[in-house]
């Protein structure tokens, strides 16, 4: 494998996994941080809304406290309650007749007008007109529950059997009653009911009860006016998980797990399943009157301001941002890859040139000279290689001279050996001839000896 490819593979071998791990860690960090940020923002928002609504309710209680102390109201209550002190006339026996007459009469009939146009009722209407966005109906009863002054025409004349009246009167002890959201039969519309005892502080006794049916549009305007994307909603929920009102036109329902979480935590935020959504981010805060109402009071249940949104929509900015960051990371890796390719090529080109020259030298071409100008170790290596070639060239020349001299010497000795060999061959031939002559002479001597004398 070429060294350039090794450099590139080594670089990308750690860069790409490191980038993927970093981007994955960044994803979980962004999602977790944004969930915590949005969850805290949801909680802060619903907490502020709960404080606003609680503040409005306590403000209504304070204003109602002022209203029930005006002389016209006290005067009408005093006249109504004195009838119970007259032993000759007991109005309780006439409750049935008055209830029947009230049911048959219209708002403009004289009998109803007696309670709608008396001085106390005029003050109630002034108070209602002052806050026409806040009140659907206001009614005052005496200490027995009979009407004394009204702004509209309640469905019944006698109110002592109503839950709000019994809670406010509290067997003569008196309590502020916060009845919550309900369909008010008197106002014929959805209202938030408050009821308060009216005290005669001189004699320390309750002389009547006032009921205020607050308009939900005014009281809960901070819920209706909220907007939170396509899937977001803010609503008022009771402790049974019922959605009492919301800023959506469509009806929405809660989830048992959501209700359980809200009831156990009371305040906070969580990621919970909600309907068709696998996950929704939910912020919730309870309406708490304990810090604002100093008088004794009772509450008909618990209520929570809840904001929820599909987690996918909540995290959509994170997904967009993360997508952009992934694109940036891709181009960053691509850019680094191009730069790395250029650097690897710049590093490996001299090495490749050195390798090519080494191959030529290995083939016996000792006239090569490597020209590399990098100013680093590669240039130093090429210079060392050039010096090595020079030494090899010098050694090769010396070796050739020695070979030449040795060859000449061998040739001379060979010639000498050839001469000696020729001499030895001639001598050997002479010796053979002499041996032949000696044999001949021996034969002649034997022949001479063999002849007779």
Name residues of the chain where pLDDT drops below 70: 1-14, 86-94, 131-133, 184, 186-188, 249-254, 291-292, 294-295, 344, 363-370, 372, 374, 451-453
Q: How far is CA 301 from CA 165, 184, 217, in A?
A: 16, 17, 21
What's residue 43's pLDDT? 92
What's residue 268's pLDDT? 92
What's residue 139's pLDDT? 94
- What is the spatial distance between Cα 352 and Cα 346, in angstroms, rounded to a whole number? 10
Q: Running DSSP on this structure, what letter comes out for residue 91?
A: G
CATH code given to domain 68-219 = 3.30.450.20
- What is the spatial distance between Cα 161 and Cα 142, in angstroms, rounded to a whole number? 13
Angle 14-20-21 from CA coordinates, rounded to 5°: 85
Of 210, 209, 220, 276, nearest to 243 by C-alpha is 220
- What is the spatial distance between Cα 309 and Cα 267, in angstroms, rounded to a whole number? 17
- What is the spatial distance between Cα 381 and Cα 309, in angstroms, rounded to a whole number? 68
In 10 A of CB 9, how many CB atoms?
Answer: 11
Of 111, 130, 134, nearest to 70 by C-alpha is 130
What's residue 196's pLDDT? 92
What's residue 326's pLDDT? 85
- Tokens found for residue 220: 């809960």
- What is the spatial distance between Cα 158 and Cα 98, in angstroms, rounded to a whole number? 8
- Tokens found for residue 112: 């109803």
What's residue 116's pLDDT? 92
What's residue 426's pLDDT? 72
Of 197, 139, 140, nearest to 172 by C-alpha is 197
- What is the spatial distance between Cα 88 and Cα 255, in angstroms, rounded to a whole number? 60
Q: What is the DSSP secondary-structure string of 118-141? A: SHHHHHHHHHHHHTTTTEEEEEEE
Phi/psi of residue 430, nearest 5 degrees = -65, -40
* Per-residue burial over 256-271, b = 16 or more CB atoms within 10 Å of its CB, e = otherwise: eebbebbbeeeebbbb
Q: How far is CA 154 from CA 61, 106, 376, 385, in A?
A: 21, 11, 101, 113
């Amino acid at each position: 494998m070429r060294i350039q490819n090794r450099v590139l593979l080594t670089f990308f071998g750690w860069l790409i996994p490191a980038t993927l791990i970093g981007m994955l860690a960044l994803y979980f960090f962004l999602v977790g941080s944004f969930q915590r940020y949005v969850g805290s923002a949801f909680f802060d928002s619903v907490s502020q809304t709960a404080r606003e609504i609680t503040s409005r309710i306590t403000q209504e209680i304070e204003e109602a406290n002022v209203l029930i102390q005006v002389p016209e109201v006290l005067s009408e209550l005093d006249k109504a309650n004195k009838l119970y002190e007259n032993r000759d006339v007991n109005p309780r026996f006439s409750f049935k007749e008055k209830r029947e007459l009230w049911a048959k009469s219209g708002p403009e009939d004289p009998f109803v007008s007696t309670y709608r146009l008396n001085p106390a009722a005029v003050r109630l209407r002034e108070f209602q007109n002052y806050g026409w966005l806040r009140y659907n109906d206001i009614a005052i009863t005496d200490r027995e529950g009979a009407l004394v002054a009204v702004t509209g025409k309640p469905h019944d004349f006698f109110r002592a059997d109503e839950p709000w009246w019994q809670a406010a009167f509290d067997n003569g002890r008196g309590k502020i009653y916060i009845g919550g959201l309900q369909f008010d039969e008197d106002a014929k519309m959805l209202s938030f009911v408050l009821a308060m005892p009216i005290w005669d502080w001189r004699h320390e006794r309750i002389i009547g009860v006032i009921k205020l049916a607050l308009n939900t549009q005014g009281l809960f305007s901070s819920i209706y006016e909220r907007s939170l994307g396509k899937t977001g909603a803010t609503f008022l929920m009771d402790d049974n998980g019922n959605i009492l009102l919301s800023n959506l036109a469509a009806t929405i329902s809660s989830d048992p797990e959501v209700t359980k979480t809200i009831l156990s935590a009371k305040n906070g935020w969580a990621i919970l399943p909600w309907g068709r959504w696998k996950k929704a981010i939910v912020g919730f805060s309870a309406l708490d009157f304990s810090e604002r109402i100093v008088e004794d009071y009772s509450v008909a249940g618990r209520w929570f301001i809840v904001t929820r949104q599909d987690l996918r929509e909540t995290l959509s900015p994170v997904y967009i941002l993360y997508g952009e960051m992934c694109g940036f990371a891709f181009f960053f890796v691509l850019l680094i890859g191009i730069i790395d390719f250029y650097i690897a090529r710049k590093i490996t080109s001299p090495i490749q040139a050195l390798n090519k020259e080494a191959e030529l030298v290995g083939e016996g071409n000792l006239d090569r000279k490597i020209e590399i100008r990098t100013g680093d170790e590669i240039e130093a290596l090429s210079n060392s290689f050039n010096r090595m070639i020079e030494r090899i060239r010098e050694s090769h020349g010396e070796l050739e001279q020695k070979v030449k001299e040795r060859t000449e010497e061998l040739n001379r000795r060979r010639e000498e050996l050839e001469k000696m060999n020729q001499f030895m061959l001639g001598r050997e031939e002479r010796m053979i001839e002499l041996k032949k002559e000696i044999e001949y002479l021996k034969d002649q001597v034997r022949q001479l000896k063999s002849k007779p004398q």
